[in-house]
């Protein structure tokens, strides 16, 4: 998709499809009014007839026989009150889906001229590009028959009111396109079945990223390297599978070599059966998504490389399967982590923290400015926040606030949950330094407390995306979250 910015009257803009908005019980104004004039009042007549009401989700497609544009698409925006980022993005998604069903090769959106609470031309352009990418994304389905053809849409324009807003909007489109590309990579990887997307496959995709971008390098540590590093905790998770584990290191260099990097750590359990603490069958197929944290690190590295972000980023992905063969770790086993701390494995299904803790210890060697880990870590997080918000826990309140703000701006929100001493007590063990699991109360927080034991002296935050990483039921599939949040965080820091 090619993106561009347009200025001036909609009545003079040449395009296959002009997209305008109309709020519920509001007068036709702006670009809609300009095009209504070209159409000889057809929009106004349809409003009068009650066919166009401006309700959210409403789409009206009109052909034109005059003027430089071939079609006018009127998108209902709902009530004018409270029209913010979320509803703007929804309207953009509605428009994108509708345009993709037409024969239009290009389109121009004037929705970016609407008043959208707490945004500027940069964000309206960026969110438009992200919404378009998100809506036009197709799952890499593995079917025996060919899928329907790609939509013909090839280029997409976004309008700004004033010429001096053009540069900001162009920057927004550029960033939005990069975020969309990163998000699409995340969704592709996460949607793949676990018999395709193995740790070895992920390692190959990391090398491919490094081949595609000069600014990215990839290195893959094998199990013998993990043994040498004394990653006993990570290795205990992969003990029960035939698939070899990998620690994937991706480095994006966009700043001076001496600038401290931001380290992103992504949980890469390519399938989580629970191990000996085997999961129940219902929904177990969804545990192929247990590497979405890893996929989001791939997505963020790709988006950063697309933007040419002025930052150094290290992506660390511990990748393995959690399976129950005869060599599998058993409940009650005690393992020694790379940090030297010993862990009683109460439950082999609490495996994410066991691979992340050794990776957090490994992260120290990069002398990071901050470390952010991303993981589908706990079912308890899904109970706490549902499918809407990601949980953020941190040993630094400012960092948590920074991530919350990034989530609000990117419309990919997260919510700060506490890490208090009382929760740490739940992880006490009679036989080792601490246990990997405990009672169900506060499960998302106790999991974060476990990780916190490996982050002394580092500025660290943990994103639990168990509820937000993918949809279930008929909509089953990766959402690409939290790539928009991560990218907003990184862009604001750079």
Q: Which residues are catalytic?
A: 279, 353
Q: Which of 346, 464, 451 is nearest to 416 (CA)?
A: 464
| Least Å from the CB of residue 427 to ligand BES | 10
Per-residue CA distances from 255 to 9, 305, 376, 483 (Å) = 41, 12, 30, 21
Which are the contacts of 150, defined by CB distance < 8 A and separation ≥ 6? Answer: none
Nearer Cβ to Zn ion (158/317) = 317
Helix (H) or strand (E) holding 423: helix 421-425
- Give min distance, CB of 447 to Zn ion, in A: 10
Least CB distance to Mn ion at residue 220 (A): 24
Check residue 477 for interaction with ligand BES (CB under 6 A): no
CB-wise, 29 or 347, nearer to ligand BES? Answer: 347
The three-class DSSP label of residue 351 is coil
Q: Taking the complex as a whole, how short is the minimal distance between the CB of residue 20 and ligand BES, in angstroms?
A: 41
- The phi, psi pair for 290, rounded to 5°, reads -75, 5
Shortest reach from residue 481's CB to Mn ion, in Å: 20
Rounded CA separation 94/89 (Å): 9
Min separation Cβ 473 and Zn ion, Å: 20
Q: Using the minimum distance from each CB to Zn ion, give the nearer residue, 47 or 377.
A: 377
Q: Identify which of 449, 483, 286 has the alpha carbon closest to the alpha carbon of residue 379.
A: 286
Quick one: which of 272, 321, 373, 488 contacts Zn ion (CB under 5 A)?
272
* Contacted by 466, from Mn ion, ligand BES, Zn ion, none: CB < 5 to 8 Å by type: ligand BES
Q: Which does 437 bind (CB under 5 to 8 A by kind): ligand BES, Mn ion, Zn ion, none?
A: ligand BES
Q: Taking CB under 6 A as the rule, does residue 466 contact ligand BES? A: yes
- Least distance to Zn ion, CB of residue 290, Å: 4
Whether 323 and 236 have beta carbons less than 8 Å apart is answered as: no
DSSP bridge pairs for 317: 248
From Zn ion, Mn ion, ligand BES, none, interface partner of 347 (C-beta below 5 to 8 A by class): ligand BES
Number of residues that bind ligand BES (CB under 6 A): 16
Candidates 44, 347, 405, 408: give the one binding ligand BES (CB under 6 A): 347
> Contact 112/125 with Cβ under 8 angstroms?
yes
Query: What's the Cα-to-Cα distance from 174 to each of 157, 226, 246, 480, 483, rounded to whole Å?
Result: 12, 39, 33, 18, 16
List for the chain the helix, strand, coil content (%; round to 5).
40, 20, 40
Please list every residue from 359 through 418 that binds ligand BES, using CB under 6 A: 376-380, 382
Neighbours of 362 (CB within 10 A): 23
- Applying CB under 5 A, which residues contact Mn ion? 272, 349, 351
352 binds Zn ion (CB under 5 A): yes
97, 135 Cβ separation under 8 angstroms: yes
Rounded Cα gap, residues 485 and 372, in angstroms: 12
Question: Which range in 84-92, 229-237, 344-352, 360-368 contacts ligand BES by CB under 6 A?
Answer: 344-352
Provide the 3-class DSSP secondary structure of residue 77: strand
Report residue 46: phi and psi, to 5°.
Answer: -65, -35
Judged by CB under 6 A, does residue 464 bind ligand BES?
A: no
Write down the least CB distance from residue 349 to Zn ion, Å.
7
The SS3 of residue 375 is: strand
Binder to Zn ion among 290, 306, 404, 488 (CB under 5 A)?
A: 290
- Mask: binding to ligand BES, 233-272, rule CB under 6 A, as x and -? ---------------------------------------x
Asked if 130 is part of the footprint of ligand BES (rule: CB under 6 A), the reply reads no
Rounded to whole angstroms, how far apart are CA atoms 186 and 297?
Answer: 8
- Residue 34 contacts ligand BES per CB under 6 A: no
Find, among 494, 465, 249, the residue nearest to 373 by Cα.
465
Tell me if residue 435 falls in helix, strand or coil.
Answer: strand
Residue from 96, 169, 371, 437 touching ligand BES (CB under 6 A): that is 437
Give the torsion through C-alpha atoms of 427, 246, 190, 484, to 10 deg: 80
Pattern 224-263, Zn ion, x by CB under 5 A: ----------------------------------------
Is 290 a binder of ligand BES (CB under 6 A)?
Answer: yes
Closer residue to ligand BES, CB minimum distance, 368 or 442:
442
Q: Max CA-CA distance within the chain?
A: 82
Q: Which is nearer to ligand BES, 160 or 382 (CB)?
A: 382
Residues that bind Zn ion (CB under 5 A): 269, 272, 290, 352
Applying CB under 6 A, the residues found at the interface with ligand BES are: 272, 290, 347, 349-352, 376-380, 382, 437, 443, 466
């Amino acid at each position: 998709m090619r993106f561009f910015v347009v200025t001036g009257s909609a009545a003079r803009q040449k395009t296959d499809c002009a997209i305008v908005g109309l709020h519920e019980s509001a007068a036709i104004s702006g670009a809609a009014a300009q095009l209504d004039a070209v159409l000889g009042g057809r929009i106004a007549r349809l409003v009068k007839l009650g066919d166009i009401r401006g309700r959210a989700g409403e789409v009206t497609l009109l052909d034109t026989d005059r003027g430089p544009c071939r079609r006018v698409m009127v998108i209902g925006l709902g009530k004018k009150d409270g029209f913010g980022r979320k509803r703007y993005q929804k309207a953009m998604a509605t428009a994108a889906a509708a345009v993709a069903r037409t024969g239009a090769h290009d389109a121009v959106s004037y929705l970016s001229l609407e008043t959208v609470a707490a945004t500027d031309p940069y964000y309206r352009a960026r969110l438009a590009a992200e919404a378009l990418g998100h809506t036009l994304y197709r799952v890499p389905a593995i079917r025996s028959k060919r899928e329907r053809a790609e939509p013909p849409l090839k280029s997409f324009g976004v309008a700004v009111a004033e010429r001096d807003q053009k540069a900001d909007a162009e920057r927004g489109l550029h960033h939005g396109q990069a975020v969309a590309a990163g998000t699409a990579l995340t969704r592709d990887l996460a949607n793949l079945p676990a018999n395709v997307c193995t740790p070895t496959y992920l390692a190959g995709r990391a090398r491919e990223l490094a081949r595609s971008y000069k600014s990215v390098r990839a290195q893959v540590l094998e199990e013998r390297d993990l043994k040498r590093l004394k990653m006993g905790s990570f290795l205990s998770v992969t003990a029960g599978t035939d698939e070899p584990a990998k620690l994937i290191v991706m480095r994006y260099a966009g700043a001076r070599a001496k600038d401290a990097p931001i380290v992103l750590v992504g949980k890469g359990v390519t399938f989580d059966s629970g191990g000996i603490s085997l999961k129940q069958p219902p929904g177990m197929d969804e545990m192929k998504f247990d590497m979405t944290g890893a996929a989001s690190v791939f997505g963020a590295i790709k988006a950063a490389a697309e933007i040419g972000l002025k930052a150094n980023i290290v992506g660390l992905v511990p990748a393995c399967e959690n399976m129950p063969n005869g060599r599998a770790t058993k409940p009650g086993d005690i393992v020694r982590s790379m940090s030297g701390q010993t862990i009683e494995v109460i439950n082999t299904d609490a495996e994410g923290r066991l691979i992340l803790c050794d990776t957090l210890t490994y992260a120290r060697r990069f002398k990071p400015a901050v470390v952010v880990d991303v993981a589908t870590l706990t079912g308890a997080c899904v109970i706490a926040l549902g499918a809407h918000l990601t949980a953020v826990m941190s040993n630094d309140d400012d960092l948590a606030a920074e991530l919350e703000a990034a989530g609000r701006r990117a419309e990919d929100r997260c919510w700060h949950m506490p890490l208090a001493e009382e929760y740490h007590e739940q992880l006490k063990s009679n036989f080792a330094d601490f246990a990997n699991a405990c009672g169900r109360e506060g499960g998302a927080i106790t999991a974060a407390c476990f990780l916190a034991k490996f982050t002394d002296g580092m500025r660290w935050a943990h994103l639990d995306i168990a509820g937000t990483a993918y949809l279930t039921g008929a909509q089953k599939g990766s959402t690409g979250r939290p790539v928009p949040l991560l990218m907003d965080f990184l862009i604001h820091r750079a």
